[in-house]
Structure 1
Amino acid sequence: MEQQLEFACAHFHWTVNDWSQVVWTDESLFELGKPVTQKQVWQTPEKKFDLDSMAVNHQSVEVSVAANCEELTLMEDGAPIHTALASQQWSQDHQIQKFAWPSSSPDLNPIENLWYKMKFVITNLFNPKTMNKLRKAIHIIWDTMPFNPLEALLVSMPARMQMVVDKNGAPTQW
């Protein structure tokens, strides 16, 4: 809770425009036979998902996304792919500016809301029964989203910071 509160206090003054200068990253598991809830596919907003690059893993597909921005400030959570030595070295070699993101803070990452919405649509509109249909549903949903689905979610960032401060660093409704 202390990390979340420190982070919120340090970014309390940030505007939606400030938040729009962040490259957001996250991953999520989409599973068959469950309320769709993490296989790794890196993708930028300009590209479409390549269905061939989505690998099957125990009847699930994990999708990772890096979204946004012209100036590069990278948001990475504590996922192993971000903390791996090769990833850290690449970021250092390319002088990538990173956030000191608080651990265990999914409520601060607006992409989490995007995953929830995608899973809801997949479960309620597509209800896929095979991995191929699940991959296609992910592809269709991503392709039909506005160019930058994070724009609307970024509007919530000042309120997220306020709520973390109000709750003294405790988890929020987000």
Structure 2
Amino acid sequence: MVTQFLEENKINILEWASQSPDVNPIEKVWSLLKWKVSKNMKNLNDLPQLKRYIENIFMDDKEIKQLIIKSIKSIPDILQQIIEQKGDVIS
């Protein structure tokens, strides 16, 4: 149904993985989050404590918040680069 609509309306689709870190802003956030958690793993004794720690990072960590905002704001530029590269890898 979607494919038919796109074809009928002559909408081109970029051949680009939907999970690509280039177009998925959360990937950079996950990387930073994993790094922050791994730094403090020895201080986390159980799963509930780990969960609270991760929730606190998302709520209070300025670096994570700034990265989320920056990543979201960069999406239009990244998409433009992908279009210019005709779906090829961007640097």
TM-score by length of 1: 0.34
Which of the two has greater strand per residue?
A: 1
1:2 maps to 14
CA shift, 1:162, in A, is 3.1
CA shift, 1:141, in A, is 0.4
Q: Find the aligned partners of 1:134 and 1:172 in 2 and give their Cα distance.
A: 36
Q: 2:32 aligns with which of 90, 100, 117?
A: 117
Instruction: Give me the CA root mean square deviation.
Output: 3.0
Q: Find the aligned partners of 2:59 and 2:19 in 1 and give their Cα distance.
A: 30
Alignment length (residue pairs) = 74
Q: Find the aligned partners of 1:103 and 1:157 in 2 and give their Cα distance.
A: 13
Q: Greater CA radius of gyration, 1 or 2?
A: 2
Structure 1 segments, 4+ long, off by >2 Å, are 1-4, 102-107, 149-152, 165-168, 170-173
Q: In the TM superposition, what are the counterparts of 1:57-96 in structure 2 within 5 Å?
A: none
Q: In the TM superposition, what are the counterparts of 1:19-168 in structure 2 within 5 Å?
A: 103-124=18-39, 126-127=40-41, 128-145=44-61, 149=65, 150-168=68-86
Q: Find the aligned partners of 2:22 and 2:70 in 1 and give their Cα distance.
A: 16
Which of the two has greater helix per residue?
A: 2
Q: Per the alignment, do residues 159 and 140 of structure 1 end up closer, same or farther by CA in structure 2, a change over 3 Å counting? A: same
Q: Deviations over 1:66-113 (max 9, x none)?
A: xxxxxxxxxxxxxxxxxxxxxxxxxxxxxxxxxxxx634343121222
**What is the identity percentage for the equivalent residue pairs of Structure 1 and Structure 2?**
23
Q: Please, which runs of 5 or more residues in structure 1 have no aligned partner?
A: 5-101
